[in-house]
Amino acid sequence: MSLEPQPQLAASDLQELIMASMKSYENRTPFECFALLMGKAQILEFGLKSLLERTFAVDRAIMEKWTLGRVANELEARALRPDYIALLKQFVGHRNYIAHEMLAVNAMFKSMAGDISDRFEFGQLQGPTIELEQLLILHDWCEEYGAWLPIEAQPCHRQK
């Protein structure tokens, strides 16, 4: 039995790709970074819904109002890569905080502290931004190499 070599993405290569992607956030205001992060999260959501449609015949109309969290749960239920799902679910928690609470908390703090506080900084977005960039890179890599299934479930790893 001969196994075809599986494409691999080395951690160092992934890190390099993430750092290159992070350059798109340079020289932007914190609110521009916020908008860029949220826009890219929408692109990821669209790509994952497309995956569900193509791979599992989920009707696009049914998914129209699904959140990124719901999409993550649906992918998990279909046994996609658990490593990707874990990272995706972690990001969903951060995205939900950013989308629903972070701006309000910062506005409230600024109203209480006045001019001494300009608390909304890119630093608050940096961790979730790195996670998102990693998710986008891995999404594209899994698409390119057909690697959405866990390694042990991929056809060339099954015994013949």
pLDDT at 116 over 70: no
Going by C-beta distance under 8 Å and a sequence separation of 6 or more, which residues neighbour residue 71? Answer: 45, 48, 49, 52, 63
Q: What is the pLDDT of residues 79-108, one digit of tens each?
A: 999 999 999 999 999 998 888 777 776 666
Residue 12 to residues 9, 17, 19, 121, 132: CA-CA distances in angstroms? 8, 9, 11, 28, 17
Minimal CA–CA distance to 157: which of 35, 5, 30, 19? 5
CA 90 – CA 29 distance, rounded (Å): 25
Residues 6+ apart with CB under 8 A from 139: 44, 47, 48, 84
Tokens representing 152?
């042990």
Predicted pLDDT of residue 58: 95
Q: What is the pLDDT of residues 30-63, one digit of tens each?
A: 888 889 999 999 999 999 999 999 999 999 999 9
The model's pTM is 0.81
Q: Convert 53-76 to b/e letters by CB count within 10 Å (16 or more is b).
A: eeeeebeeeebeebebbebbbbbb
